[in-house]
């Protein structure tokens, strides 16, 4: 056991002193940043979004896309000559379309328009239609590939 990892310390704490030092440094800086934000009267809104972002991802978004995925698989698997990989013909366009909605959702759902229109003189009208079109193209391309593969195999 090296000098950096005294046995008694490791047994009690669970790792070496450097591990503890690194963590305390991290907490100190993060705590200081939190204190600076606390100067803002609406500090609780920052906290809400900070904790909310992690909770919504871990307990809503991730379980939801996992459940959707499990829901789709048996639907496709019931057909004759089903290949377990066939689910990807749905999964890939769905993931890409969902990702674009997740990232650009504020414009697609025109949520930013009240601030965007006075600022720029433009609207957020075009984006829902464009996203639907992109989604349609993705699924159509995937369906085409599926049909071509089916014919090759037949």
Partner 1 sequence: MSTTDEAPATPDVQYGAPAAAFRALERARPPLPRFRSPVRGPWLTSVFAAVLLVGMPVLLVTGFLSYAAYDPQFAENAFPRDPGLLRLPHFDWPTSPSWLYRVNQGVHVGLGLALVPVVLAKLWSVLPKLFQWPPARSVAQVLERVSLLLLVGSILFELVTGVFNIQYDYVWKFDFYTAHYYGAWVFLVSFALHVALKLPTMRHALRTRSLREELRVDRAHTVPEEQDGTGLVAEDPAEPTISRRGVLGLVGAGSLAVTAVSVGETLGDAVRPTALLSVRGQSYGDGPNDFQVNRTAGVAGIRPDMVDGTWRLLLRGGPREVSLSRDDLLAMEQHTAELPIACVEGWSTVQTWTGVRLRDLLALTGLDGLDSAQVRSLEPAGAFNQTTLHDGQVRADDALLALRVNGADLSMDHGFPARVIVPALPGVRNTKWVRSIDFRA
83/76 Cα distance (integer angstroms): 9
What torsion, rounded to 10 degrees, do the Cα atoms 66, 102, 30, 27 define? Answer: 10
Sign of the alpha-carbon dihedral angle for 11, 15, 16, 17: negative
Q: Supply 16's token pair.
A: 């070496």
Q: Which is nearer to partner 1, 15 or 144 (CB)?
A: 15
> 76 near 87, Cβ under 8 Å?
yes
> 142 near 92, Cβ under 8 Å?
yes
- 147 touches partner 1 by CB under 8 A: no
Single residue of 3, 80, 121, 151 touching partner 1 by CB under 8 A:
121
Minimum Å distance from CB 139 to partner 1? Answer: 14
- 87 touches partner 1 by CB under 8 A: yes
Minimum Å distance from CB 101 to partner 1? Answer: 10
47/41 Cα distance (integer angstroms): 12
Closest CA to 73 of 62, 61, 84: 84
Q: Which is nearer to partner 1, 102 or 140 (CB)?
A: 102
Minimum Å distance from CB 30 to partner 1? Answer: 5
Kindly determine how many residues on this chain lie close enough to bind partner 1 according to the rule CB under 8 A: 68
> By the criterion CB under 8 A, which residues form the site for partner 1?
5, 11-16, 18-20, 22-23, 25-27, 29-30, 32-34, 36-37, 40, 42, 45-46, 49-51, 53-54, 57-58, 62-63, 73, 84-85, 87-88, 91-92, 95-96, 99-100, 102-104, 106-108, 111-113, 115-116, 118-122, 124, 126-127, 130-131, 134
């Amino acid at each position: 056991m090296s000098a950096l990892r005294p046995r008694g310390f490791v047994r009690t704490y669970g790792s070496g002193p450097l591990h503890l030092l690194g963590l305390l440094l991290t907490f100190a800086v993060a705590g200081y940043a939190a204190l600076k934000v606390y100067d803002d009267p609406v500090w609780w809104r920052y906290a809400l979004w900070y904790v909310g972002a992690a909770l919504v991802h871990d307990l809503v978004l991730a379980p939801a896309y996992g459940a959707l995925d499990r829901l789709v698989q048996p639907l496709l698997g019931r057909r004759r000559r089903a290949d377990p990989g066939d689910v990807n013909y749905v999964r890939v366009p769905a993931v890409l379309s969902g990702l674009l909605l997740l990232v650009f959702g504020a414009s697609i759902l025109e949520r930013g328009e009240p601030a965007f229109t006075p600022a720029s003189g433009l609207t957020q009208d075009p984006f829902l239609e464009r996203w639907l079109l992109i989604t349609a193209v993705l699924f159509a391309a995937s369906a085409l590939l599926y049909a071509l593969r089916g014919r090759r195999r037949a």
